[in-house]
C-alpha cells in the first residue's frame, strides 16, 4: 500500500465516522479581520519607515503581502476546526466529466474537513483582505434560517481524466466600515478548478454557465488578462443578488466568478447606498492569482 492509498483509506474512515460539528463562523470572521488589520498595520509601518533610518539587529518579516502567490496561509487568531457555514453545492459547470459521483464512496459532495475545507476558509481571509478601504465584513444572520450570512464551502463536482474537480465559494456580507445598520451588500466568489470544455473566451464562458441569466457582456483588460463584466444580471434564485458579475477564465480552464450587489437577500438589513467596489477593483479581484486554485 503506497502513501496515496493510505491517505485515501484514512479519508474514508473520517467520512464513515460522520461529519464533524460545524465550526464557529465567528472564529473565521475574527481571524479574517485580524489578518486584514495586520496587513494594514504592516503597510503603515513600511510607509513610516521610509522616512527614517532604522538601526536594529534582526530582520522584519512582512507576512501575507504577496499578491501574486498561489495561496495564502491561514489568518492569525483562533484556528477554525472545520468550515464556515457551508454553501449549497453549486450547479455542475460546463465541461466534460467522467463521473459526478462523490469520490471514495462519499454520499455528501461537501468537504466538511481536511485540506479542501481549509482552503475554503483561506479564501475568506483572501477576500476579506481585498475589500477596499471603508468597506468591511458585516455581522448578521439569515432572517429565515438563522444561519450566519458569511458562508464558505468546497464541493466536489466530478472526476475528469482521473482528477477530482472541485468548486469553492465564499459569500461575504459587507457594509460601510462593517456597520450593518447602514446597509448590507454582498460580495461573492465562485472558483471552479481547471477542467475541459470551458470556453477560453470569458463572454462565452458566462453564456455557458448555468447559474445566472445575463445582461450585456463587456470585456475588460486587466494587465493583459481578459475579464468580462455583466451588469444587471438576474440570479435564478434571487434576482437582486447580482448587480455586477465579473468573470475570468484562466488558460488551464479554471473559472473565477465574482458577484457584488447592493443588497444581501434575507439579511434583514437595508441595501448599501453604493456598490462595495468599483468596476476596476472588481476586475482586479477576479484575476488575482490567490483565487486561481490549482488542485
Cβ count near 19 (within 10 Å): 13
**d(C-alpha 252, C-alpha 247), whole Å:** 15
pTM over 0.75: no
SS3 annotation, 113-158: CCHHHHHHHHHHHHHHHCCCCCEEECCCECCCCCCECCEEEEEEEE
Q: Are 205 and 199 in contact (CB under 8 A)?
A: yes
Q: Is 219 helix (H, G, I), strand (E, B) or coil?
A: strand
- Return the pLDDT at 3: 54
**pLDDT per 10-residue tile (average), the chain, 295 residues:** 52 44 55 61 44 38 34 36 48 44 62 92 96 96 93 95 95 96 96 92 73 70 93 52 88 95 93 96 97 93
Q: How many angstroms separate the first and last alpha carbons of the chain? A: 23
Q: Are 184 and 175 in contact (CB under 8 A)?
A: yes
Question: Radius of gyration over alpha carbons of the chain, in Å?
Answer: 20
Q: Are 128 and 32 in contact (CB under 8 A)?
A: yes
Q: Are 185 and 264 in contact (CB under 8 A)?
A: yes
Q: Is 218 helix (H, G, I), strand (E, B) or coil?
A: strand
Cα 215–chain centre separation = 23
Contacts for 187 with CB less than 8 Å, ≥ 6 apart: 127, 131, 172, 174, 258, 259, 260, 276, 277
- Return the pLDDT at 206: 77
- Return the pLDDT at 109: 87
**d(C-alpha 163, C-alpha 182), whole Å:** 45
Within 138-220, where are the H helices? 202-208
- Return the pLDDT at 4: 52
Strand partners, 152: 170
Nearest 5°: the CA angle 195, 198, 199 is: 150
- Closest listed residue to residue 269, CA positions, set 187, 181, 171: 181
Amino acid at each position: 500500500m503506497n502513501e496515496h492509498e493510505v491517505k485515501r483509506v484514512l479519508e474514508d474512515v473520517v467520512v464513515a465516522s460522520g461529519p464533524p460539528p460545524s465550526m464557529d463562523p465567528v472564529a473565521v470572521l475574527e481571524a479574517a479581520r485580524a489578518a486584514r488589520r495586520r496587513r494594514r498595520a504592516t503597510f503603515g509601518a513600511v510607509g513610516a519607515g521610509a522616512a527614517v533610518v532604522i538601526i536594529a539587529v534582526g530582520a522584519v518579516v512582512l507576512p501575507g503581502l504577496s499578491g501574486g502567490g498561489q495561496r495564502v496561509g491561514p489568518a492569525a487568531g483562533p484556528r477554525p476546526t472545520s468550515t464556515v457555514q457551508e454553501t449549497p453545492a453549486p450547479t455542475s459547470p460546463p465541461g466534460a466529466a467522467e463521473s459526478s459521483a462523490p469520490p471514495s464512496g462519499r454520499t455528501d459532495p461537501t468537504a466538511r474537513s481536511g485540506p479542501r475545507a481549509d482552503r475554503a476558509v483561506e479564501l475568506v481571509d483572501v477576500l476579506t483582505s481585498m475589500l477596499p478601504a471603508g468597506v468591511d465584513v458585516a455581522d448578521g444572520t439569515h432572517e429565515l434560517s438563522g444561519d450566519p450570512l458569511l458562508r464558505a464551502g468546497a464541493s466536489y463536482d466530478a472526476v475528469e481524466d482521473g482528477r477530482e474537480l472541485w468548486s469553492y465559494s465564499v459569500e461575504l456580507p459587507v457594509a460601510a466600515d462593517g456597520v450593518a445598520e447602514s446597509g448590507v451588500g454582498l460580495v461573492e466568489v465562485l472558483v471552479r478548478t481547471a477542467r475541459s470544455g470551458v470556453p477560453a473566451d470569458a463572454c462565452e464562458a458566462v453564456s455557458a454557465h448555468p447559474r445566472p441569466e445575463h445582461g450585456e457582456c463587456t470585456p475588460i483588460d486587466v494587465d493583459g488578462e481578459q475579464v468580462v463584466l455583466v451588469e444587471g444580471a438576474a440570479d435564478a434564485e434571487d434576482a437582486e443578488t447580482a448587480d455586477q458579475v465579473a468573470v475570468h477564465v484562466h488558460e488551464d480552464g479554471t473559472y473565477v466568478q465574482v458577484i457584488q450587489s447592493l443588497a444581501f437577500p434575507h439579511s434583514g438589513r437595508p441595501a448599501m447606498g453604493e456598490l462595495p467596489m468599483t468596476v476596476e477593483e472588481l476586475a482586479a479581484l477576479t484575476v488575482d492569482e490567490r483565487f486561481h486554485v490549482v488542485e
